[in-house]
Amino acid sequence: MENINKEEISTETTSESTNQVKQNYKPREPRQAREPRAPRAPRTTNKDVKENNTTSNDEINNDSSDKKPEFKKRRPSKPRVFNNKNLPLSGDGWTNDLKKSYMINEKIHKDRLNPHYKLNLNTSAKLRITPLGGLNEIGGNMMVVETENEAIIVDVGMSFPDADMHGVDILIPDFTYLREIKDKIVAVIITHGHEDHIGAMPYLYKEMQFPIYGSPLPLEMIGSKFDEHKMREHRALFRAINKRVPIKIGNDFEVEWMHITHSIIDSSAIAIKTAAGTMIHTGDFKIDHTPYDGFPTDIHRLAHYGEEGVLVLTSDSTNSHTPGFTKTEKAVAPTFERIFSTTKGRVIMSTFSSNIHRVAQAIEKALKYGRKICVIGRSMEKNLDIAMTLGYIKFPKDQFIEAHEVGKYNDNEIMIVTTGSQGESMSALYRMAIHEHRHIKIKPEDQIILSSKAIPGNEGSVSEIINHLLKAGANVAYQDYSDIHVSGHAAQEEQKLMLRLVKPKFFLPVHGEYNHALKHSQTGIDCGVLERNVYIMADGEQVEVSPKYLKKVRSVKSGKVYIDNTLNHKISDDVVIDRQNMAKEGIVMIVAQINENDKTLAAKPKVASFGLISDKQDKFFVKEIEDILALFVENVKPGVFKNSRILEDELRKVVRKHCIRKYKKYPMIVPTIFVQ
């Protein structure tokens, strides 16, 4: 709608209304100068009056003498004329005037909804956006925003492996593209401290380093990762930002962090101003009007950019299928109150360790009911410590006790905050439940609160931990309470609010699987973004955007790198594929010694198989392989004996054929042949 001319509207309205005013204008009679008013007596409240009922009538009369004079009566001789003389009262005259007013207002609406005429259509500047993680998946968020000469990386997150990625602890994005454009990168900017936004930082910084911009909590969380990875020196790259204060990054970017509510403290949306226009990236968000700390989403700054004209919006799609609004974080408080006020035994509460406000709400209730707080679990201890040290939450330190001190108190004087709400088998709660924790064992009087929801893929392990807790006799509060957990992501109505505030010309839904992004794109269209201006990206797709167009320009390498957490290093793809293959199909090992001269087996071969056939069948299988081997040796072409690799490959093929034909399996086959 760039063709609507704002000036045209405003001149029209002004000239019209000025004429009207002129016609109706009647000069006022000059006012008489007022007498200066006497100083007012101090106000009395009802309470004062009640208490001072001895007040004399005189005093009251004095008060009333200060009353304003009554309104003067209008002189009936000069009635005012309100009519617009130019409007004929018959025919269509007056209707036409209202129609005209309606049309002007309609244009004003269109203009306010579509401020893109403010974008610089003559610029040749453009922006390239490349997600390297976080699309077609949950987690692993990472995105590159580039101009001609410079690039910034937005978030460097990790994700979790599927169950069949044996021995893999975490997944990090493939950094190949970053290596290509390393010299262009001027900064890493961070939206918030969740693992799926900062978890891969140590792995990136082992390879390449840039200044890191973010608010204090996410930076400290990255700092603590750097400490764990023994790379503390990279804390020198931290640049703590001030929200609402745009800062220049490199030559091409001006970036502002805007406060946003989410399931972790100190989250931000980001405005990236470039010559091509402004990009707004929401990060993960919900719009909580009554957050625990009283700092709601900064909708005013978002609206400010919306009025200026936003080129492109990238927005969180995680909950795009959920209608309505996500409940406020405070919704859990009455549930906690109910549980704490009735529990006689210990309260053991578990949630995501990063959800500090959830933990804070539980601590508040515990203190109210005279319970000491015991925090167990490494990540929970670390995050609470960071939040308390930086000042995000404030509780008296002497109310916290160590795990070994729990026994000194009565059960109704204890609350334990712990990890394990996703059923992690290494977590403190899991160990308590199976009686393997050093200090705490679950007992029948315990009240467990699982203030969380299973992340897709974790349903099985959450169910398992609940079974263990119930078997130990404890009372478990989980899904039977509707407000025991609330999401940190925007539902449809909040996504709509974001779209309406920002009013982007182009819209790219991010964070979520394809179906989430697709649903979010429809919400975008419903909120006025033109269908042709919405695009669902995939990891590795590079999109170019300018005030005139948005298009996909190319694909870059993307994917996942497997990380073994105990060693903190990469596991190569083939290792994981071999592990998958062995787990699914089993393994066959053959060791044979053969005579080249007479093409016979020099000794009885050794055959061992695992995960393919049962022990009972094993000797038949060994016999089969021996027979195959004898036949194979007989038929080997003369030259092949000289090359053991070819020889072993040939044998592998023959054995594989047999296993497929007879057992419908593709086991890993490991032959070792000695030729004499």
Which parts are annotated binding residues?
485-489
Torsion of CA 232, 236, 237, 240, to 10 degrees: 110
Dihedral sign from CA coordinates of 333, 338, 339, 340: positive
Part in contact with Zn ion (CB under 5 A); list of ranges 188-196, 209-217, 441-449, 633-641 = 188-196
Per-residue b/e over 370-403, b at no fewer than 16 CB within 10 Å?
ebbbbbbbeebbbbbebbbeeebbeeeeeebbeb
Separation CA 527–CA 300 (nearest Å): 19
Contacting range for Zn ion; rule: CB under 5 A; set: 118-126, 284-292, 423-431, 668-676: 284-292
Q: How far, in Å, CA of 479 to CA of 32, rounded?
A: 74
Q: At residue 583, what is the residue type?
A: A
Mask 428-457, x = binds Zn ion (CB under 5 A)?
A: ------------------------------
- Residues numbered 309 to 368 that lie near Zn ion (CB under 5 A) are none
CB 437, min distance to Zn ion, A:
29
Nearest CA to 439 among 425, 420, 418, 421? 418
Binding residues for substrate: 485-489
| DSSP structure class, residue 395 | -
With CB atoms as reference, the residue minimizing the distance to Zn ion is 284
Least distance CB 286 / Zn ion (angstroms): 10
Question: Is the Cβ of residue 192 or residue 273 nearer to Zn ion in the bound state?
Answer: 192
Question: Where does this chain touch Zn ion (CB under 5 A) — which range of 85-93, 282-290, 301-309, 426-434?
Answer: 282-290
Q: What is the 8-class DSSP label of residue 220? A: H
The conformational region for residue 306 under phi > 0 = left, psi -120 to 50 = alpha, else beta, is alpha
Out of 155, 284, 329, 650, the only residue in the binding site for Zn ion (CB under 5 A) is: 284
CB of 668 to Zn ion, least distance (A): 40
- The interface region with Zn ion, picked from 190-198, 367-375, 463-471, 579-587 by CB under 5 A, is 190-198
Answer yes or no: are the C-beta atoms of 186 and 152 closer than 8 Å: yes
Q: How far apart are CA 165 and CA 173, in angstroms?
A: 16
Instruction: Mark the segment that binds Zn ion (CB under 5 A) among 169-177, 280-288, 351-359, 651-659.
Output: 280-288
At 334, list the tokens. Answer: 């009455």
Closer Cβ to Zn ion, 222 or 529, answer by number: 222
How is residue 62 written in tokens? 């004095």
Q: Which stretch binds Zn ion (CB under 5 A): 276-284, 561-569, 598-606, 639-647?
A: 276-284
> Residues touching Zn ion: how many (CB under 5 A)?
2
In angstroms, give the least distance from the CB of 282 to Zn ion: 11
Subset of residues 27 to 66 that bind Zn ion, contact rule: CB under 5 A? none
Q: Which is nearer to Zn ion, 194 or 519 (CB)?
A: 194
Please give the helix or strand (H or E) that residue 523 lies within, else none.
helix 514-526
Q: Least CB distance from residue 392 to Zn ion, whole Å?
A: 16
Q: Which of 194/357 has CB closer to Zn ion?
A: 194
Q: Which is nearer to Zn ion, 194 or 234 (CB)?
A: 194
Residue 284 or 298: the one with the smaller Cβ distance to Zn ion is: 284
Give me Rg for the CA atoms of the chain: 36
Site string for Zn ion, 115-144 (x = CB under 5 A): ------------------------------
Of 165-173, 279-287, 402-410, 544-552, the window that binds Zn ion (rule: CB under 5 A) is 279-287
Report which DSSP code applies to 160.
P
Rule CB under 5 A: say whether 194 interacts with Zn ion.
Answer: yes
Residue 489 contacts Zn ion per CB under 5 A? no
Nearer to Zn ion, 305 or 352 (CB): 352
Contacts of 463 (CB under 8 A, 6+ apart): 423, 454
Closer to Zn ion by CB, 186 or 264: give it: 264
- Minimum distance between the CB of residue 355 and Zn ion, rounded to whole angstroms? 10
Query: Which residues, listed in sequence order, are joined to residue 609 by a DSSP beta bridge?
Result: 588
Q: Does 288 bind Zn ion (CB under 5 A)?
A: no
**Closest separation in Å from C-beta 249 to Zn ion:** 22
User: For residues 150 and 539, which CB has a smaller minimum distance to Zn ion in the complex?
Assistant: 539
Q: How far is the CB of 327 from Zn ion (least distance, A)?
A: 17
Take residue 108 and report the two structure tokens written for it: 């004003």
Contact of 293 with 391, CB cutoff 8 Å? no
Closest CA to 195 of 610, 665, 627, 563: 563
How far apart (Å, rounded) are the C-alpha atoms in residues 270 and 83? 53
* Residue 547 Cβ vs Zn ion, minimum distance, rounded to whole Å: 31
Q: 563 and 534 in contact (C-beta within 8 Å)?
A: no
Distance CA 319, CA 316 (A): 8
Q: How far is the CB of 279 from Zn ion (least distance, A)?
A: 19
- Ramachandran class of 482: left when φ > 0, alpha when ψ lies in -120 to 50, beta otherwise: alpha
- Which residues of the chain form contacts with Zn ion (CB under 5 A)? 194, 284
